Chain A
């Protein structure tokens, strides 16, 4: 039996290590490629052999000195992600909390609406929402990108599940002390919900950092673009901007990967929230 177990250990470890290498390989080769001359990259793409002699930091020097609008895109992405994290967490937690702790007329109905919206893909609402943004004269503004993300049904759902596990007698005793219902939420219950805020901040931040189609639709001027939209404009067959494209791609995912290494648990919790049983 022992030898058979050892055989399984070897086979399974080899298989999983192989898959893990395949998963990391594209990002590894992106890093290496960002150190290669962009003209070479344009001609042959990523190659199997690494020409160590060619490697240098020229693409990075270039992006820090004459980068076109790259840093505007970066700022836009940071501002939009930060704003949508703050607004979405604030509003969604209030809604989820109320659905969990209060009995009121319409509670059940609103929760069903939340689940309903979860099932309808955003892409279907995209054209009429675009029309609405034109009517509201919001085209080419941050607000147009942020507005549809402000109350995320998935976050409402998650906060509701989390808040229903909170001790309700705390609320009663706070009421006895003359605390208002708002005070109870902001001073007592919200701090208890902190881990759920972390997971949702990551889910919301990541989806807004990587969001592509909606910003592409509502943003018009190059200086207003977010990182994915801006980088996508460099995907031309002429390859005249490969230096910015490749170094810029690395710097787009770097902060996310670094955050992941520190807050792995919350990333995993946030990204698999759909699997939580309803």
Chain B
């Protein structure tokens, strides 16, 4: 093995030595990729398999028992469905908002009508730098229960009584969606701007000659041309939504009243770490993995069809 490898290297190199082996052109690529292979085996494949195994077990310190599918049977409970429905509502709302609003704003920023678009772009991007915990600190303080809190002053203008934002199902969902929208709007605007940069100018010029107005141009040129990047933004927003936990944690670190803020990952954390029911937590993880797997497959077929169509 060493013999053959060395024979392909530069003849000036020392032969038949360990050094020569590691210097050979055949071996070098594997040395370079070895960190990935090690981390793949230890930090991905092993946990993935042991996660699936754990989901069929009851795990107590020093004692592990196989219990068949009973962890999965236990998943079908009202708390899990609450977590699933919260997460689904959150995913739908963030996906709709974080696709449509940035698309429109990016089109505006990209148009000839805006000056200083760099300054605007930078200010819209700054929230993405903020840790969700810090952002949560601010949003908690803005949406305080007190009558004098900023949010209650604002709704007061419209004649609404002061709200207990963190204690209602609808307002609680509103807080989580608002936080995510604030944080990711700027990044998604950048994605759409990158997509818009690929739209040929001539298309717009041709449309103008045909007398198309600004809205017709958006509908018949911009929108279809943005399809690939839209599929991408929708996918990352959906997957980020199913992974969501921090946006809920900052408002209810000790768990939310009536589980109004419970998410799937929050349920994994609650069961796996707080209640120390590792097997059950792992089973929820496997279910989450299946959900995300199905979405990824859907996305791949969707973008695959797009490739054929374009």
Contact = CB atoms under 8 A, between A and B. Distances in A.
Contacts of B50: 128, 131-132
A99 B126 CA distance: 34
Interface residues of A, number: 91
A129 B272 CA distance: 12
Nearest to B246: A212
Contacts, number: 272
Contacts of A181: 23, 25, 28
B243 A97 contact: no
Interface string A223-267: 000011001100110000000011001001100110010001001
Interface stretch (B68-76, B142-150, B218-226): B142-150
B138 A123 contact: no
Contacts of B256: none
Contact of B288 (A91, A124, A175): A124
A26 B139 contact: yes
A175 B10 contact: yes
B243 A267 contact: no
Interface residues of B, number: 95
A94 B35 contact: yes
Contacts of A264: 122
Contacts of A175: 10
Contacts of B286: 124
A150 B250 CA distance: 27
A212 B126 contact: no
A249 B134 contact: yes
Interface string A78-115: 00000000000001101101110010100100100110
A24 B268 contact: no
Contact of A110 (B36, B115, B125, B239): B36
Interface of B: 10, 12, 23, 25-26, 28-30, 32-33, 35-37, 39-40, 42-44, 46-48, 50-51, 54, 59, 105, 108-109, 111, 113-115, 120, 122-144, 146, 148-150, 153-154, 182, 185-187, 190-191, 194, 214, 229, 232, 236, 239, 242-243, 245-246, 249-250, 253, 265, 268-269, 272-273, 278, 281-282, 285-286, 288-289, 292, 296
